Structure formats: C-alpha cells, structure tokens
Amino acid sequence: MHNASIKEFTKDFIFPKKGTTVLTIALVIGFLMTVVGYFVGGIDGHRFWANILLNGFLIIGLSLGAGFFVAVHLIAESGWQTSVQRIGEAIASRIWLGALMIIPIILGVHSLYHWSHTEELDALLKMKEPYLNLPFFVIRMFVYLAGWIFLLGKIRQVSLMTDTNPDIKLFYRLRTYSALFVVFFAITSSTASWDWLMSIDAHWFSTLYGWYTFVGIFVNSIAVIIIFLVVLQKMGYMEHVNNEHMHDLGKYLFGFSIFWAYLWISQYLLIWYANIPEETTYFVTRIKGFETLFYVNLIVCFLAPFFGLMSRGNKRKSDWLLYVSIVVFMGHWIDTYLAIMPGAVGAEHAHIGLFEIGMTVMYVSVFTWFVFKALTKARLVPENHPFYKESFDYENIK
C-alpha cells in the first residue's frame, strides 16, 4: 500500500545554495559579535576558555546523544526509528567536528581547572592527583575521542554500505557496533563529564553528576534531531515522516525532560538535606550570583516541555514540537553554562554578553552546515533496512 509513495520521498537531499549563504552570514555575524564582545566586554582568559569549553561540550554532546539515540534503537530493533535514523546518523557522524571543538581546552587547562596548578595543591587535591593531573587528563580525552570517533564512524560507514548492499549480515554488524558504542559510552560519558565539567570545582563531587550530564546531552540531541527533521520537512524532504513519528519524538522529548528534572532534583535534594558545606558549595555558588538563570534553567528545561508537550495533540504538531525543541536547546545551553561558569569564571565576571552569544552562533552555524552536508551524502532513509516498511506502517494507540 505504501510502496507507490515510498519511491517519491527517496529523492536525495540537495542542500540549497541559500542554506550555505544563510549559515555563512550567521557565521560572520557570530564572529563579529565574538570579536566585538571580546574587546568591549574585556574578556579575560577564564571567560574565554570557559566559552570554548561550553560550546565545544555542547556540540560534541549533540553528536554523542544522537549517536546514542541511533545505537539504542538499532540494538532494541525498534521499527519507527528507521524513518528518522539518517538524521541521527548524520549528526553522530560529525563527532570529529565536536572533537576538534573540545580539544582546544587542553590549551586552556590552567584557566579552567585549578587542579592543574600543581604547585599550589592542597591536601584534598593532592589525594586526587593520581586521577586529576594534566598528562592523564589529555590521555583520557584522546581515549574517549578515539573510541567515539571509531565506533560512531563505523556505525555510519556500515549504515551507508547497506544502501548498495542489502545483506542482512550488515545489519547484524551495525547492531554489534551499536552495542559496543553504548557500553563504551556508558563509562566514558560519566568519566568525560567528571573530567571536563565536574573537575572545574575540583573539591566538590557528586556521584550523580555523570548521569545528570548524560541526560542533559541526550535530551538536547533529541531536541536537535527534531529541529533538523522539521527544517528538512519545511525544505520539502522527509515527507514520509508523519504525525505518528512526530508523536514518538515528542514523547521522547517529554519523557527525557522529566528524567532530566528527576535527576536534577535527586542531586539537589540530597545535598540540600545533608547540608554539608563541602557539598552545598556547588549550589550556593549557583544560587548566589546566578539566581535568575538557576530558576530559568528549571523552567525551560523542565516546565516548558512538561506542560508544552503533555497533551497528545501538541506532540503531533510538528511546528509546536519545533518551538519546544528550540526552547529545550536553549535550556540546555543555560544548563551547561551553569555547570561551567560559576566555577571557572565566578559570579563577578560571568555574564551572558555578545561574546557568549556570538560564539555559540558561530559554533552552531558551523555544526549545522556540516550536518546538512552529511545529509546530502546518503539516502534520507536507509532503504534496505529490515524495518524500512514497518517504520511507515506504524501508528500509535489512540
């Protein structure tokens, strides 16, 4: 029944010249804002490197979350995801771009992490030195990046091979690489968040931090997958993705936003209850000096998607889903900002100015361009996938 219509939407994606122009203009505007912001705002080393870390982490997180999304669905053999798999793949396969954006923080280690000042370590940091030292930090970073780039690259490579070769063995191999990635990512997502974010406040620690950061990454990626999907539809592609698939992506965004809030409150509540100074310092520095953002963060990351996507009808409207996804994306920008700035810059110097906004516009426009380019390199749907037909014959229960 669907076969006739399938042929139509398998047309290849051609990224219009206009898209490149728009993104180039965004890049130039972002660059100008960054430069003007740098000189007008009197940006010091701390704030400069904190922004490099913020945007680098944000972009690499998008690739990782999208890769996790694809991998989990390939392992679980879910049917509906096949229809949007190529978007997740395209974002995940640009992991090297995120890697290039996060690697520079090695140069700014001394501005970001006070554990790197080896001559002035106190007793606590001395104890942590076997883990928190510069050589091991760099080694770990390259291990993570190598593993991610290899496994996500393999997933992409094998998936592209299926376009010309419908051998079922390729799909088994895809599943194997996905499983390896999920296991590797389960460990490295935690350790990477300790290394890059939690060690900014080197005296403080939370056992929930890795999970909390992971969920932030994942929700953000789902939001970005939705944004790409709706934009592609507005360009006249991906017509095969119907309300049912939108509904599922909406459920994803809704559910994991709640999970994010759940982990947020779990971390906050225990620290608040115990009221031990060495633990509460994390939240005290965030509530004092970042008070507005602290609460705005909860509103845009939790309340907005919670009430915005609660009803079934809202989850099925692609325009509405697009707006909520943009809000969630901005929310997780603030979330990452709050994770980095209070420790790395301090309340006196940190604020969101031209520099911060310009840099994010720059990074996001570059990333977007590369993802669109990745989308042009493959069919928009993996046509030989065993669940190809199933993903279109799919519907939600009323």
Positions that interact with another protein (CB under 8 A) = 265, 268-269, 272-273, 275, 310-312, 395, 397-398
Q: If DSSP codes are grouped into helix, strand and coil, which group holds residue 216?
A: helix
d(CA 387, CA 370): 28
Q: If DSSP codes are grouped into helix, strand and coil, which group holds residue 25?
A: helix
Q: Which is nearer to another protein, 12 or 393 (CB)?
A: 393
Rounded to the nearest whole angstrom, what is the least distance from the CB of residue 266 to another protein in the complex?
10
d(CA 94, CA 368): 10
Q: Which is nearer to another protein, 281 or 396 (CB)?
A: 396
Q: Which sign, positive or negative, has the C-alpha torsion 310, 316, 320, 322?
A: positive
Rounded to the nearest whole angstrom, what is the least distance from the CB of residue 341 to another protein in the complex?
23
* Two tokens, residue 1: 């029944």
Q: Which is nearer to another protein, 142 or 307 (CB)?
A: 307
Rounded to the nearest whole angstrom, what is the least distance from the CB of residue 293 to another protein in the complex?
19
Rounded to the nearest whole angstrom, what is the least distance from the CB of residue 318 to another protein in the complex?
20
Rounded to the nearest whole angstrom, what is the least distance from the CB of residue 268 to another protein in the complex?
7
One DSSP character per residue, 367-395 reads HHHHHHHHHHTS-SS-TT-TTHHHHHS--
Rounded to the nearest whole angstrom, what is the least distance from the CB of residue 183 to another protein in the complex?
32
Distance between terminal CA atoms of the chain? Answer: 22
Distance of CA 280 to the CA centre of its chain: 27
Looking at residue 257, its amino acid is S
Rounded to the nearest whole angstrom, what is the least distance from the CB of residue 29 to another protein in the complex?
41
One DSSP character per residue, 57-115 reads HHHHHHHHHHHHHHHHHHHHT-SGGGGTHHHHHHHHHTHHHHHHHHGGGGTTHHHH-GG
Contact 248, 80 (CB under 8 A): yes
Q: Which is nearer to another protein, 370 or 394 (CB)?
A: 394
Integer angstrom CA distances of residue 197 from 40, 128, 293: 28, 16, 18
In terms of C-beta density within 10 A (0-12 exposed, 13-18 middle, 19 or more buried), how is residue 228 classed? buried
Rounded to the nearest whole angstrom, what is the least distance from the CB of residue 77 to another protein in the complex?
19
